[in-house]
């Protein structure tokens, strides 16, 4: 009972408050974007001069109600929460009448597959290489790796992505330039291999730079732990290097790195915006860009809600898992 009151309930309450405030802010910000979605929709329908003014006004009212823009800002806010609890994010304003949830459902598997894979690979490589480089800093090989990652780390994602596109899709057309796959979705090797071909360059740009960041973090943590008394005692006792690295170094540097992994996986639901734009990858990051560009309130809200809930949930899970990862942390 004390565990529930002192540890679980406060963190669940923090999760609820974080999600509530995040969604509220997300509801407000898109409405500050210049432009009226209703007027934009009407203008896309062509000339309305031949219609009766009362018919045009009725059409405006119907569109405002359909888009969730009817009434005052407070009325819109209350109606938004009512629809949200029903799982209704409304129609996309830029791809009307397609529901927002359908657009997200189409893009989410591409983003989750790309970002989850690249995050897990970069996290594993960063920890492994960074730990070894931090534990054996005087070896020439690890000094070379260290200098390489330090040089790579400041490069922006979009610069590396553009370089990969120019080299391997334009000058040497080895990999596809745009899209997520070729052909109709089937459980065939042809379609599966096309997914791999289309995702290799975006994944590479994410893995290289993310590995550089995690390498630097793991190396800094390892350098601190390597000088501790328990590591020195293990070396004096004659334990093998690999045993020391696995059970004395990595185990005592995992807490911040698991936090990084959890938050990175939670951020998967927001998409890799820049990478997906550069490669025209059909994920939710590209959909979010199109939603912002076209002032699609509903689509922006839907994707951002997924991102807020994903990151907040990941932070909650990581917080609750701390006592399992570090014996110094207790549920009290």
pLDDT tens digits, residue range 140-189?
888 888 888 888 888 887 788 888 888 887 788 777 777 777 767 777 77
The verdict on 138 and 280 lying in the same domain is: yes
Q: Which residues face 125 on adjacent strands?
A: none
The verdict on 147 and 263 lying in the same domain is: yes
70 inside domain: yes
Q: For residues 219 and 236, give the distance between their C-alpha atoms in angstroms, rounded to a whole number.
A: 22
Task: Please give the structure tokens belonging to residue 288.
Answer: 């979010």
The verdict on 81 and 203 lying in the same domain is: no
211 inside domain: yes
Do 246 and 305 contact (CB within 8 A), yes or no?
A: no
303 inside domain: no
Confidence band of 63 (pLDDT split at 50, 70, 90): low
The verdict on 129 and 73 lying in the same domain is: no
Q: For residues 210 and 124, give the distance between their C-alpha atoms in angstroms, rounded to a whole number.
A: 11
The verdict on 126 and 76 lying in the same domain is: no
Instruction: Tell me the residue range of the domain where 49 lies.
Output: 38-86
81 inside domain: yes
∠ CA(32), CA(35), CA(40), 5° rounding? 145
The verdict on 55 and 137 lying in the same domain is: no
The verdict on 49 and 167 lying in the same domain is: no
274 inside domain: yes
Give the CA count within 13 Å in the CB-facing half-sphere of 239.
16
Q: What is the CATH number of the domain that holds 135?
A: 1.10.3720.10
57 inside domain: yes
pLDDT reading at 2 higher than 70? no
330 inside domain: no
State the pLDDT at residue 3: 59
The verdict on 65 and 145 lying in the same domain is: no
Domain count of the fold of the chain: 2
The verdict on 62 and 145 lying in the same domain is: no
Three-state secondary structure readout of the chain: CHHHHHHHHHHHHHHHHHHHHHHHHHHHHHHHCCCCHHHHHHHHCCCCCCCCHHHHHHHHHHHHHHHCCCCCHHHHHHHHHHHHHCCCCCECCCCCCCEHHHHHHHHHHHHHHHHHHHHHHHHHHHHHHHHHHHHCCCCHHHHHHHHHHHHHCCCCHHHHHHHHHHHHHHHCCCCCCCCCCCCCCCCCHHHHHHHHHHHHHHHHHHHHHHHHHHHHHHHHHHHHHHCCHHHHHHHHCCCCHHHHHHHHHHHHCHHHHHHHHHHHHHHHHHCCHHHHHHCCCCCHHHHHHHHHHCCCHHHHHHHHHHHHHHHHHHHHHHHHHHHHHCCCCCCC
Rounded to two decimals, the pTM is 0.77
The verdict on 62 and 210 lying in the same domain is: no
The verdict on 72 and 205 lying in the same domain is: no
Confidence band of 327 (pLDDT split at 50, 70, 90): low
Higher pLDDT, 67 or 97: 97
Confidence band of 47 (pLDDT split at 50, 70, 90): low
Give me the mean pLDDT over the 198-216 stretch: 86
Tens of pLDDT, residues 281-300? 888 877 887 777 776 777 87
The verdict on 129 and 194 lying in the same domain is: yes
Last residue of a domain, one of 27, 57, 86: 86
Q: For residues 262 and 310, give the distance between their C-alpha atoms in angstroms, rounded to a whole number.
A: 10
Task: Please give the structure tokens belonging to residue 148.
Answer: 């390489």
134 inside domain: yes
């Amino acid at each position: 009972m004390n565990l529930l009151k002192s540890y679980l309930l406060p963190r669940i309450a923090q999760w609820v408050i974080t999600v509530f405030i995040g969604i509220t802010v997300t509801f407000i910000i898109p409405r500050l974007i210049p432009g009226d979605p209703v007027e934009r929709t009407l203008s896309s329908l062509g000339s309305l001069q031949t219609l009766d003014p009362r018919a045009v006004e009725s059409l405006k009212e119907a569109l405002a109600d359909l888009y969730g823009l009817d009434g005052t800002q407070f009325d819109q806010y209350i109606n938004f929460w009512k629809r949200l609890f029903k799982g209704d994010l409304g129609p996309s304003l830029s791809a009307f009448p397609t529901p927002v949830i359908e657009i997200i459902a189409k893009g989410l598997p591409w983003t989750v597959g790309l970002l989850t894979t690249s995050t897990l690979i970069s996290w594993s490589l960063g920890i492994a290489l960074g730990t070894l480089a931090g534990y054996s800093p005087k070896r020439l090989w690890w000094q070379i790796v260290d200098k390489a990652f330090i040089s790579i780390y400041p490069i922006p994602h979009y610069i590396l992505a553009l370089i990969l596109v120019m080299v391997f899709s334009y000058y040497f057309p080895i990999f596809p330039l745009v899209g997520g796959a070729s052909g109709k979705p089937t459980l065939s090797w042809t379609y599966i291999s096309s997914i791999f071909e289309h995702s290799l360059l975006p994944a590479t740009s994410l893995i290289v730079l993310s590995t550089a960041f995690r390498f630097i973090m793991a190396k800094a943590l390892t350098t601190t732990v390597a000088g501790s008394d328990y590591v020195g005692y293990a070396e004096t006792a004659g334990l093998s290097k690999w045993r020391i690295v696995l059970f004395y170094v990595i185990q005592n540097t995992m807490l911040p790195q698991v936090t990084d992994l959890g938050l990175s996986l939670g951020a998967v639901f927001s998409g890799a915006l820049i990478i997906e734009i550069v490669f025209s990858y059909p994920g939710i990051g590209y959909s979010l860009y199109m939603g912002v560009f076209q002032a699609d309130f509903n689509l922006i809200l839907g994707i951002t809600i997924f991102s807020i809930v994903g990151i907040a949930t990941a932070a909650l899970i990581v917080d609750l898992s701390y006592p399992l990862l570090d014996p110094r942390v207790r549920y009290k």
